[in-house]
Amino acid sequence: MSGTLLSVRDVSKNFGDVEALKSVTLELKRGDVVGLVGGNGAGKTTLLRLLCGLYKASQGGVVFIDKTGEERPVHEVRSNLGVVPESTGLYARLTAWENIRYHSRLNNIPDRQAWNRTLRLARALEIEDDLQRATRGFSRGMRQKTALIRALAHDPEVVLLDEPTGGLDVTSARRVRDLVRKLGEEGRTVIYSTHKLNEAEQVCDRIVIIHNGTLRADGSPKDLMDETETLTLEDAFVSLTQDDSREVDSPEPASKFQQFWSKLTTRNKTPKGGD
C-alpha cells in the first residue's frame, strides 16, 4: 500500500488566457508537513484551492488515496480535509464555539465530540476562555486561532493552511508551529503555505517552491541548499526563482453577480467636476 494520501497529477489551471499553474505534479504522503513557498503571483493560492476541491483543474487532477488504495477525486472527500484560508470567513455574530460547532455539524460530527476536541485545541492555543465570545470583537490573531480550531475539530486527515501565523504575536505563532509539528507526528498530511522561509524551515520537513505557476523545487531544506550550492534556504529560493515574478496569483474573472453589482453601484455616477 502506498503512503501517498494526495496525488497531484500534471495539473494546470487557466483563467481565460492566463495560465495560473502549469503541469504541476506532486505526491503528498501521510505524515508529510510540506511548506508551500512562493512570492506574490506564484500560484500558491490556486494550488491550495485545487487541493481542497474548490477549483477544478483545466488539465490533470487531484486525487485522494485512502488506506485501502482506493482513489477518489478530492472534491468528493472534503470531510477528510481541514482548511484555514488566509481570510478566515468567521460569522461575526456567532461565538467562536458556535462557528466551530456549525462547521463540525456540516461534517456530521456530534456536538460532544466536537466540543471535546475544540477544548483540547483551545487549551493548546490558549483561547479556552474566549470560546463563548462573539468573534466580532476578535483581533486578527484570535480569528486565525479560531479558524485553525474550526479546521481541525472534525479530525481531518489533510490540513491545508494558508499563512496560518498571519497576525499572530511571536508566542502565539510558536504555539501554532508546535501544533503543526504535532499534526505531522500524528500522521496527518499538512500543507503549510507561507512566504516566510525561516518559518517554513522551522516547521516543514519538505519544501515545495512554486514560482510563476511552475514547480521549481521539491525536497528537504538541505536538499534544496545542496542542489543550488547555497548555505541558506533563502539563497536557495533566490537561485531557483531568478526570473521576474508576475503580479497576481489567481486572476480569476469576476462572477456574474460581481459584474452585476459593479454595474449597479457605478450606474449614472458622474465624477465631481464632470459635465
The per-residue pLDDT for 150 is 95
Per the domain annotation, does 89 fall within a domain?
Answer: yes
DSSP single-letter state for residue 95: B
> Taking 60 as the threshold, does the pLDDT of residue 84 lie above it?
yes
C-alpha cell recorded at residue 127: 483561547
State whether residue 118 is helix, strand or coil: helix
Per the domain annotation, does 261 fall within a domain?
Answer: no
Per the domain annotation, does 229 fall within a domain?
Answer: yes
> Taking 60 as the threshold, does the pLDDT of residue 272 lie above it?
no
Per the domain annotation, does 169 fall within a domain?
Answer: yes
Q: What Å distances lie between residue 265 and 113, 259, 261, CA to CA?
A: 46, 10, 6
Task: Name the domain count of the chain.
Answer: 1
Per the domain annotation, does 266 fall within a domain?
Answer: no
- Where does the pLDDT of residue 246 fall: very low under 50, low under 70, confident under 90, or very high at 90 and above? low
Closest to 73 (Cα-Cα) out of 1, 161, 6, 156: 6
Per the domain annotation, does 258 fall within a domain?
Answer: no
Instruction: Show the domain range for 157.
Output: 4-252
CATH code (residue 130) = 3.40.50.300
- Helices 140-152 and 111-125: angle between axes, nearest 10 degrees: 140
Could you give the CA distance from residue 225 to residue 56 in angstroms, rounded to a whole number? 34
Per the domain annotation, does 114 fall within a domain?
Answer: yes
The per-residue pLDDT for 167 is 76
- Backbone Cα Rg of the chain: 20
- Where does the pLDDT of residue 172 fall: very low under 50, low under 70, confident under 90, or very high at 90 and above? confident
Q: What Å distances lie between residue 60 and 15, 20, 73, 218, CA to CA?
A: 15, 14, 11, 19
What pTM does this model have?
A: 0.82
Per the domain annotation, does 270 fall within a domain?
Answer: no
The per-residue pLDDT for 79 is 87
The per-residue pLDDT for 165 is 87
